[in-house]
Every structure is written in structure tokens, then in C-alpha cells.
Structure 1
Amino acid sequence: TGTPLLKSQKMDKAFGGYIDKYKINEAVEDGATVRIIYEGRQVQSDVVGDSLDALFEEYFKDKSDDEKREIKKKYGVERAVREAPARIRWVCIDLLKHYREKIQPNGFKAMIVVGSRHAATVFKKTLDDLEAPPSEVIISGTHNDPAYLSQYTDTSHQKQVIKNFTKPLGTDKEKEDPTSFLIVKDMLLTGFDAPIAQVMYIDRSLKDHTLMQAIARVNRTYKGKACGYVVDYYGLSDHLTDALNQFSSEDVEGTYHTLKDEIPRLKAAHTRVAVIFAGVKGTDVDDYVLHLKDEDTRQQFELAFKKFAKQMDVILPDTAAKPFIPDLKLWGKVQNAARNRYRDPGLNISDAGAKVRQLVDEHIISTGVDPKIPPVDLMAANFKETVEQIKSPESRASEIESAIKHHITVNLDEDPEYYKSLSLRLRDIIEKTAGKWDQQLELLLQMVDSMESEHKQAADDLGLSETEFAFYNILVAEVTRHAGEDAISEAVHDEIKATSQDLVGMFDEATQIVDFFSKPDEVKRMKKEIKRAVLDCSFGEKALVNVVQDRFTELAQNKFK
């Protein structure tokens, strides 16, 4: 389980120094575990000292004196108070609020650790009465158990519950499990591995190794799980300190944190994003988006904002997060706008928790933007209309540049050489008109108007279909590259054109065979045809054959699906 050795168990004096040490904080830094946040919760008043008798009288005021004496005799005052239905109801109300605000939105589950088997049944009944999400009790049994206990001790049912608990939270019986809470006394506190569990609510005494191992149930990594929580209703802070004192301080450094420890982390994460936008003034989203035009800057923002969003999810809905919410909303909108502007799917906060995603999405929607709608396609009828709504010429030019780049990327495999030429043309426009935004905008709009019609016109002028033109462009490029000259003769052009048409015809016929490209012998036969066709030309040389075979076959896989 990774529980460190007690000071008394250290073997370095007998056997020399350790070959290597792997400490708890190092495991968190490496992503092998998540950090644990400890929250102490005050339950009306501490169940200690002089308050015990007063609490006993409060919780059992409806009982007769004889019944009170019987309760004290059977359970003792402290246990009676701790397991009083009125107190447990308060604990359940509080933990449900915590669970619904912090844990459930992100799809995680919980364990509730109680002081006795009887208490487990009281917790179960109370949760059900409060209409809590589904819970299960896992306790051991004896032959003489009364019915109210024995109903929870069936081992075959427990095995199924434990197995299902490790599944994602949900109602799909095949893949998911609706159980949100496991209520336990001693069982599952060691050795149980359920990464879906993010919080342990503790209402019993735990000490030493048992305490250390128990809280480790919630430090397992899981997608979207930034941390684990230990919520203490018993008052274990002293026990936790005592437990940690039994280990070497360097071994247990970083075992747990408090919410107070998380605030500096949030401030640091916030600062890292703020520094990226240090030169941007005001709250105009477009200015922020333009600042992210450089891909390296965009990547820095993506990483920094994701860390900030994750840390916000750890702290929300605590009021300590409140000062940071305006920037979370602003930067969330910036991220959404930049994702659309630069067609960059990496700009998202899918890894952040549901609380953060909801805050950001609600803010974006409130400003009249639907975050689920993708950017307008370059070839869409309303593309220019969309561009005209953008304020500055620089931003309009940036939108068109990004749309062209995306269009080239998406269509590159359809005609690699043609779209590479468009990429070079785009780069030339951007470099020559940098800072001259109106001129750049005009040239980019001209490029948009002509890029697709030019492709068809060029094919028509040669008497080729657009498919034949794509193969022709590859062969022209490779022959020119191989010859080491900028131009080739008209006769060679004619050969290239005829060869391209012949090979497209062969591919068209050959690919009538079902799953042609998954049949190595058929592909090999087609490559022989390409080799023969190339070598029969005046420019045909063996050095040219391999590259043309590979490029034609790759293009054919896109053209003859």
C-alpha cells in the first residue's frame, strides 16, 4: 500500500544506507497518487469532557430515566452520544452537503467509516431517510446477529457490491454502478483499491498504521481526480499528528494537506496565467485571443489555465475561491474563443471538474455564445458574414488565416501537393503584410475566393478529373525534385499526365475488390503496375520508383475508400 516504515522498523543501521527512497510527496509529484486534503468538521460541539453529559441529555431527552440508565450501561456515555440518531443525522446532513457540492458533480464516490456495526445501520437508515444517493453497508457478521445487522452481512452480496463499487458512477448496469457510499467499520480500510473513491468521511477512532492505511484509500489516481478528501467528524487531528510522529518526517512529508494549504497553490496557479496576459489591458476577449496567436504562447496558456481550473475545482464551492471566479470566467471564455479562432482542440478544460466547467460554460452562454458550436467553416456560406462581425482588421485577418490553415490541414491528404502550395502562398502573404492588417485582410479574402475554384480550373485546363489531378501533382513534384530543375519539358508533362490517368484507371478497377488495401498481395500487385508505368517513361529511374509507389498508394487510400 506504500505505507512508510515506523521509526522502529528502519533497517538502515543494520544493513547500511537505502539504495533508493520513494516518499509520499514524490509519488504525488510524479502523478502516482493524488494529494489528500484533510477537513475537520465540528459536530455541534466536541464529544469530550464536560460536554458529554449535556449532549447525552440533549440527544436522549425523550427517554425515561430507566431507559437512559440502560443506554449508559450498554454503550457508555461517549458511544451513546456518538451513535445517537440525532447526532448521526447532523453528520449525514453535513456530509451530504459536502458530497453533493464537492464530490458528486465530478462523478466520484465516498466511503463512510463508523465506530460500530450498529452505527453503520443507523447511518444507512438516516441516509435513506434523507433521500441520499444509494449507499451500501459492508460489515462482518456473527452467528447470533439480530436481523437488523444480519441483513448486511451476506458475503456473496458484499463481494458483488465491492466489485461494482469500483465502476464509474451511473445507472448503466453493464458499465456503471449507482452506489455513491460504502458504509464500513473495519472492512475495506486496508488493501481495498477503488480509485473512483475520492472522499472518506470518518466518524470513529483510527490510530497509527490503521489510520495511515485508511486515508490512503482515497489517494489513488483516476481521470479528473485532482485530490482525495478525508473529512473528519471524530476529531482525529491529534491521532493523525501522533501517527505521523511515529514515522520519519522526511518519509511522511506531504501525507495530507488542509484547505488552507490549497489557497497558496491556487494563487500561484492564478499568477501563472496572469503573467501570460501581462501586456493585455481590459476585458475585451478579442485582445486576449490575439495575444494567443503564437502557438508557443497558446500552449503555455493551455497548460497554465488547466492547472488553475483544476485547483479551482479542488477549492470550490468554498468562499476562498470567490475572488478568483471572475478571472476563471474571463479566461474560460478566452480559451473557448481561442479554440475556435485557431481551430485548436487542445484548448479545453475537459480535465477540470464539473463545477468549473459549469461555471465557465454558463458564463460563455450568458454572453450569447454557445461553447458547443464549432467555428464556422471556411467554405460555409456565412463565413464572410461571421468575419465581418469581428472588431479589428488584425483579428479578422487572424480568423481568416486560421480558417485557411485548418482547411489546408483537413484537405491535405486529398491533394498533398496542391494544398502544400496553398500553405506556402499563405505564409508568403502573412510575412509580406505583417502589421498591414487591411492589406493582409484583402489578400486573404482574395485567396479564400479563389482557392477551390483554382483547383478545379487547373484540373479542367489539363483535361483531368480532380482525382487524376492530385496524382498528376505528386508525379510532377517528384520528377521535378529528382531532376533537380525548376521546370520540365512539355513532352515530360504529357507523359506525366498520361501516366497519372492510366494509374488512376488501374486503381479504380483494382479497388473494386472488397478491402483491397488490407490485402497485401493485391497492394503488391498494384505497386508493380506503378513501377512498370514509371520505368516506361523517359524520366523513369529506379530512384524515383519507391517514393512514387508509396505516395500513390497513400493517396489512393484516401481517394478510393
Structure 2
Amino acid sequence: MVVGMSRRICVALYDELIRLRPEWAGSGDQEGFVKVVMTGSANDDPAWQDHIRSKERNKAIADHFRDPRSPMKLVIVRDMWLTGFDVPSLHTMYLDKPMQGHGLMQAIARVNRVFADKPGGLVVDYLGLANSLKDALGIYATSGGQGTPTLDVEAALDFMAEKLDVVRGILHGFDYSDFMGGTPTERVSLIVNAQEFVLAKRDKAKERFIREVLQLGKAYALAVPHPEALAVREEVVFLQTVRAALSKQDVTSTAQARHDVNAAVQQLVEQAVAPDGVIDVFAAAGLKKPDISILSPKFLEDVQNMPQKNLAVELLDKLLRDEVRARSRRNAVQSRAFSEKLEAAIGRYQSRSIETAQAIEELLDLARQMREAQARGEALNLTEDEIAFYDALEVNDSAVKILGDEQLRDIARDIAETVRRNATIDWHLREQARANLRRMVKRVLRKHGYPPDKQETASRTVIEQAELLAQHAAD
């Protein structure tokens, strides 16, 4: 939050920010990175009118700003939102307006709320409000407010030095001293190689590195602008960048993360801006940016040839987990079988029962099995939903031998059509609807002569798949 001295200054600051960062603009109240929130009327300067909203619109934009998932991350105000406005994720306030006493205390309290891994609230003073701030903090402390606002950075410096020493220990033997002096391509390559160095240690080194760098970042944020903190700024930037890359391997895919390619390879597709254009991180990792399926033979070959073998394992693990997760919404048997194989392979790798190269081979083989399973539907002339029921029926090997492949395909088609025809919007909320679904599935099995002694076992698997399809149809 930026607190300006006047509405004119607030609007001028917004205009300058948009000139420097055009992508921050947004035409609607729910769009854009930055907004001005201020009072006004139709008689004000025409250039201000885009920033003057009704009471209802201001309430809506306030709710939007409170959502940590919102793209709106910066707000410019003069008087509004300085008292009684609660946004726990708000972490920094830039003060460019004379304030004192109770008003200043209320303003700084906006950023002093506990939220996730937020280390504390930061107040950036442009007008020399230190004395007024100390008085306000005194008022805050005696008024029973939560948190401990402080101007003393010595404790933060000590903690920062401690965590920096721990992280350097994890990276002992890896030289990253030339990070800031290298070209963009060299920097990206260094980040990728640092990931490989951490992953090669296994034994939860990745988790420990992520945890310790997070603590280092918190301490650093509280210690700046002390000279000792600024002296290690470039090193902290590098460590936080490596941490972010490692952390992204564990983040579940979201629509926002799919802006370029599948989120499973997001950590290798991000781009770094260079003076002569754009440097692709894929190239730095020894990969070509994929233009087809991430499980295509060519892409898997590129991953296999990556020089960073432990990073290749992490990448394949993330790719396959995303694929299993996607299949779990449509094919219960496939997702369960592939999930078990994936967990077994990763377990052997983490316990060092197999070497990295062997782990890569096992994961690549699993990826090929997934690709082949995906193509089975076309070979059998079955749709995606029908092949899911075929897989559920095929689990019972003795039934397969008795009925034969063609009859199993007929059963799969019949069940898929029955479920699609009878799925209701609220099926998953009504036990009666679920019971009807189970009866219909069993009726289809009997109609096609499915062995009676095998029906109960097969029914459970088929009904599980039917419920998945019913849910998908209802959605």
C-alpha cells in the first residue's frame, strides 16, 4: 500500500507506474496489478474519473484486494483504507504523507497482521517520520495490539547470518560466486546446476534447503536496509531463485500456471530477459521447448539426455504425477495402477536402492506405458470414457478369458452410455441416486452374461469408475 499526500499525487504516481509497467494496467475493477482508491465526485479533474468509484464498487474492489490469489497486489491511497481495513497478507506500506499519533498507529497496523510465511510488516518512510513512528509504536504497544513492531534490526541480522551459514553449508562445494557477473544465459544455467547439486544429495536436502532459504528470506526482509544485509543481497537473490525453482516442482498445476506450456515443466520454461532478446531456460537445461505432448517420445528423449540427472528425475516425477492426477478424474484403474508404480520407483530412488540413471529409465518406461495406455482406446475403437470401463472390466482376468475381448467392449460401451444417460446434477449428494447407479451397472453386467461369481468383485471397480464418469457428466 502506498499512502500519498494528495489525490493529485496518487493519480500521478499511478500514471508513472503504468508508463513504466504497462502490463500492470487493468480496465475493470477486477483487473490489473495496481489501483488508486480515493474519494471524489463528477466535478473532479476528468483525468481522475477512472479512479473514482461508488461505495459499492469500492467495497467490491476491497474484497478483491483481500484475496491473496487476486492479481491486484498494489494499491495507492490518500485517506481511504488507512483505518479499519483488514488485509492480513498486506506486508509493506510506503508512507509519503505526514502522519502522527493515533492516525499513524492505525495506518501501520494495516501491515502488522500474521499471514502464512509473512515475516512481518515493513513500513517504508519517505518523509522522515521516525520520531512520529516511534511515538505511534508506543501507542500501539500500550493499546494491546498484537505483534511486536520494532525498528531494531540487530536480532534480524544475527538470524540472517545464522541461516546464511546453514544454506552455504548445504551448497558447500558448489561455486556460485559469479552469479551476478554472468550473462543471463550463464545465470540461468547456474540456477539449474544448483538445483541438480541440491537434488543429488537426496536425504531430504531439497526440503531442508527450501526451509532454510525461506527463513533466510524472512530475516533478510527485516534486516534491510542495514549495510550488512545489503552486502549479501545478490547472494540472497540467487538462493531465493533456486528455492523458488525447487519449490515449483511440488506445486499442483493451476490454470494460472499454464500460460505457456503444461505446468509440469514450468520451472524449465520460464524465461529470462537479456539485452539482446529472450533466453529460454529450456536451452540452459539442455532441452528444446516442447511443441507437442509432454509425454511424446521426442520430449522424453530430451529429458533422458539432460546433463542434470537428478533434476531429470524430479522433472519426470512431477510430469508423471500431474498425468496420474489428470487420469484420476476419468480412469480409476489406470490412475491407481500408474500411481502405485510411480510411488514404487520414486521410493527406490529416494532410498538409494537404485542409481539415478536407473530411476530415469524406470520413469521413462512408466511414461511410455502411460502413452500406450492412452492410445489403447483408438486401437479398440473406444472413447475415453468407454476405455475406462473396459480397463475396469479387464481387471478380472478370468472374466476376460470367458467373455472375450469383443463382448467386454460391448459391456464397456453399454455401461458408459447408461451412466451418461442417467447422471444427475446432484448425484453425488443423493444416496438414492448413487444406489440407482449401482443397480443399473449390475443390470448391464447380468444382461451381457458377466460370470455371476465374478460380478461382485467387478461391480465394485466398475461402479467406482461409473461414479467418476457420473461426476464428470454432471460437471
Provide TM-score, normalisation by structure 1: 0.51
* Match of residue 234 from structure 2: 326
Paired AA for residue 2 in structure 2: K
- Of 417, 436, 451, 2:333 maps to 417
Paired AA for residue 98 in structure 2: D
Q: How does 1:120-519 map to 2 (within 5 A)?
A: 166=62, 180-182=76-78, 191-193=83-85, 195=87, 198-201=93-96, 203=98, 206-207=100-101, 212-213=105-106, 215-220=108-113, 226-229=120-123, 231=125, 233=127, 237=131, 240=134, 244=138, 254-258=148-152, 262-268=156-162, 270-271=164-165, 273-274=167-168, 277-278=170-171, 281-283=174-176, 284=190, 285-289=192-196, 291-292=198-199, 297-309=205-217, 312=220, 320-335=228-243, 337-338=245-246, 342=249, 344-345=251-252, 364-366=272-274, 368-370=279-281, 376=290, 378-380=294-296, 382-384=298-300, 386-387=302-303, 390-396=306-312, 399-426=315-342, 431=348, 434-442=353-361, 444-449=363-368, 451-453=370-372, 456=375, 467-477=385-395, 489=398, 493-495=401-403, 500-510=408-418, 513=421, 516-518=424-426
Q: Secondary structure at the match of 2:174?
A: coil
- Change in CA separation of 1:475 and 1:240 when aligned onto 2, cut-off 3 Å: same
Which whole-Å CA distance do the structure 1 matches of 2:158 and 2:436 have between them?
66
Q: Secondary structure at the match of 2:123?
A: strand
Q: Show structure 2 runs of 5+ residues with no match.
A: 18-34, 40-51, 66-70, 177-189, 258-268
Cα drift, residue 179 of structure 1: 7.0
Conserved 8 A contact 2:330-2:468: no
Conserved 8 A contact 2:295-2:371: no
* Percent sequence identity over aligned pairs: 15
Conserved 8 A contact 1:510-1:516: no
Cα drift, residue 199 of structure 1: 4.0
Paired AA for residue 505 in structure 1: R
Cα drift, residue 556 of structure 1: 5.5
Cα drift, residue 383 of structure 1: 0.9
* Match of residue 22 from structure 1: none
Which whole-Å CA distance do the structure 1 matches of 2:359 and 2:16 have between them?
61
- Change in CA separation of 1:390 and 1:328 when aligned onto 2, cut-off 3 Å: farther
Which whole-Å CA distance do the structure 1 matches of 2:12 and 2:425 have between them?
62
Which whole-Å CA distance do the structure 2 matches of 1:345 and 1:274 have between them?
29
Q: Secondary structure at the match of 1:254?
A: coil
Which whole-Å CA distance do the structure 2 matches of 1:168 and 1:415 have between them?
37
Paired AA for residue 85 in structure 2: D
Which whole-Å CA distance do the structure 1 matches of 2:12 and 2:390 have between them?
75
Which whole-Å CA distance do the structure 2 matches of 1:475 and 1:456 have between them?
18
Which whole-Å CA distance do the structure 2 matches of 1:220 and 1:259 have between them?
19
Paired AA for residue 175 in structure 2: G
Q: Secondary structure at the match of 2:93?
A: strand
Conserved 8 A contact 1:499-1:533: no
- Alignment of 1:110 onto 2:3: yes
- Of 535, 539, 546, 2:453 maps to 539
Q: Deviations over 1:484-508 (max 9, x none)?
A: xxxx53x564348677544433344
- Change in CA separation of 1:435 and 1:268 when aligned onto 2, cut-off 3 Å: same
Aligned residue-pair number: 391
Relative contact order, higher structure (CA 8 A, sep 6+): 1
Greater C-alpha radius of gyration: 1
Conserved 8 A contact 1:343-1:375: no
Q: RMSD in angstroms over aligned alpha carbons?
A: 5.6
* Match of residue 440 from structure 2: 529
Q: Deviations over 1:269-302 (max 9, x none)?
A: 5456445x24552345335335347595544444
Q: Show structure 1 runs of 5+ residues with no match.
A: 1-107, 113-122, 139-155, 170-174, 351-360, 480-487
Cα drift, residue 514 of structure 1: 9.4
Cα drift, residue 110 of structure 1: 1.6
* Match of residue 552 from structure 1: 466
* Match of residue 14 from structure 1: none
Which whole-Å CA distance do the structure 2 matches of 1:132 and 1:470 have between them?
56
Q: Deviations over 1:8-60 (max 9, x none)?
A: xxxxxxxxxxxxxxxxxxxxxxxxxxxxxxxxxxxxxxxxxxxxxxxxxxxxx
Q: Deviations over 1:412-454 (max 9, x none)?
A: 4443333443444456666399454445545554554455336
